[in-house]
Amino acid sequence: MYHITIDTQKRILKLLNADNDLVKQYPVAIGKPSTPTPAGTWTITKKALWGEQFGGHFMQLSVPWGTFGIHGTNKPWSIGKAVSNGCIRMNNHDAEELYNLVSIGTQVQIY
């Protein structure tokens, strides 16, 4: 079983195993100041294949006040920046890899 941490200052997503060992880390984009990525501890509630804008792979988070998720992007230049509407953007190949590794119910801590 995996869990995920997202450091919004460093803009890094870490995939950790049950022993808290780092399995993989990925650069990400986060929400801009006017639409920040929601800090807290969430779970992945849905996994879906969405359109090109979302890089095909979307993992929805349990945030109760909107639709937020981890997904790919058709704007690879945005990775490492604070530019999204609150979602966590990844390079498409990274989003596909993560999508295939994690399951619904995976814990995601955003800080």
Among all residues, which ones are annotated catalytic?
71, 87
Judged by DSSP in three states, 84 sits in strand
Cβ count within 10 A of residue 111 = 11
Helix then strand then coil, % of the chain, to nearest 5: 15, 40, 45
CA distance 36 to 21: 28
Beta bridge partners of 48: 58
CA distance 6 to 71: 13
